[in-house]
């Protein structure tokens, strides 16, 4: 049984004070949650402050990105070691905004993933197709390339802590959401691909999250699907009431 994950990616939002306030609301509203993992990813400057707020609560801390070196002359970058020191347990890698706006490649994301694993943090590897790629019938090809590139040279044992997040780019921040059937089709394909790349056990144990305009009014249907193991939430994670409701999803019968 795969334990669901609901992760909130705050992106470039919330000051340190606002991050404290929001994380305090989440800790209060989710204090008795045990059957699912809860993760929030504030901006770098708020990580330590949020870590103090969520200490001894069910809420875990993630960073939104990292650099694949420990330390050195890398102005403006931050390593997994420093993220761990700030209190992080997870690191988001390969988000579509990093790929599109910062030009990150599968190879570079793969380097970061290995560094995250070396530091004993847990990576959340994001993949997803653009609207043009979907309309051109390239969705499966794109997902396959991103999975194979991002997970290149990993062993089955190293896959034990890797989480995958499928985020169709056309649904991120647009208000458009892949239908439950569309999301399940992609998730099922990813799981079959993991079986081919590794083995059936890895495929069965890997948690695959859906991201792309997840809201309180669609999370229950999404979480009904067999291969959807949680959500990577963007805008709705900035509102405590909405995010708490998403965490408290109840799959439709």
**Residues labelled as active-site residues:** 95, 167
3-state secondary structure string across the chain: CCCCEEEEECCCCCCHHHHHHHHHHHHHHCCCCCCCEEEEECCHHHHHHHHHHHCCCCEEEEECCCCCCCCCCCCCCCCHHHHHHCCCCEEEECCHHHHHHCCCCHHHHHHHHHHHHHCCCEEEEEECCCHHHHHCCCHHHHHHHHHHHHCCCCCCCHHHHCEEEECCHHHCCCCCCCCHHHHHHHHHHHHHHHHHHCCHHHHHHCCEEEECCCCCCCHHHHCCCCCCCEEEECHHHHCHHHHHHHHCCCCCC
56: left (phi over 0), alpha (psi -120 to 50) or beta: left
């Amino acid at each position: 049984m795969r334990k669901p994950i609901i992760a909130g990616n705050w992106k470039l939002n919330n000051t340190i004070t606002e991050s404290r306030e929001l994380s305090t609301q989440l800790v209060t509203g989710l204090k008795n949650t045990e059957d699912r993992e809860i993760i929030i990813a504030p901006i770098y400057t708020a990580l330590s402050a949020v870590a103090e707020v969520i200490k001894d609560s069910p809420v875990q801390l993630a960073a939104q990105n990292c650099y694949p070196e420990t330390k050195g002359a890398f102005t403006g970058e931050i390593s997994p070691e420093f993220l761990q020191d700030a209190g992080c347990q997870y690191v988001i890698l390969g988000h579509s905004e990093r790929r599109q706006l910062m030009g990150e490649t599968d190879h570079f994301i793969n380097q970061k993933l290995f560094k995250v694993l070396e530091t004993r943090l847990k990576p959340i590897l994001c993949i997803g197709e653009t609207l043009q790629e979907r309309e051109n019938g390239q969705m499966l090809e794109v997902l396959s390339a991103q999975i194979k590139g991002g997970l290149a040279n990993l062993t089955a044992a190293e896959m034990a802590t890797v989480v995958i997040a499928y985020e169709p780019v056309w649904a991120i921040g647009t208000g458009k959401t892949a239908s439950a059937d569309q999301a399940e089709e992609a998730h099922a394909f990813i799981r079959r691909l993991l079986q081919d790349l590794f083995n059936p056990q890895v495929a069965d144990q890997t948690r695959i999250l859906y991201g792309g305009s997840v809201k309180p009014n669609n999370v229950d249907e999404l979480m009904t699907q067999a291969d959807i193991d949680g959500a990577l939430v963007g805008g709705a994670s900035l509102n405590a009431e909405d995010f708490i409701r998403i965490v408290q999803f109840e799959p439709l019968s």
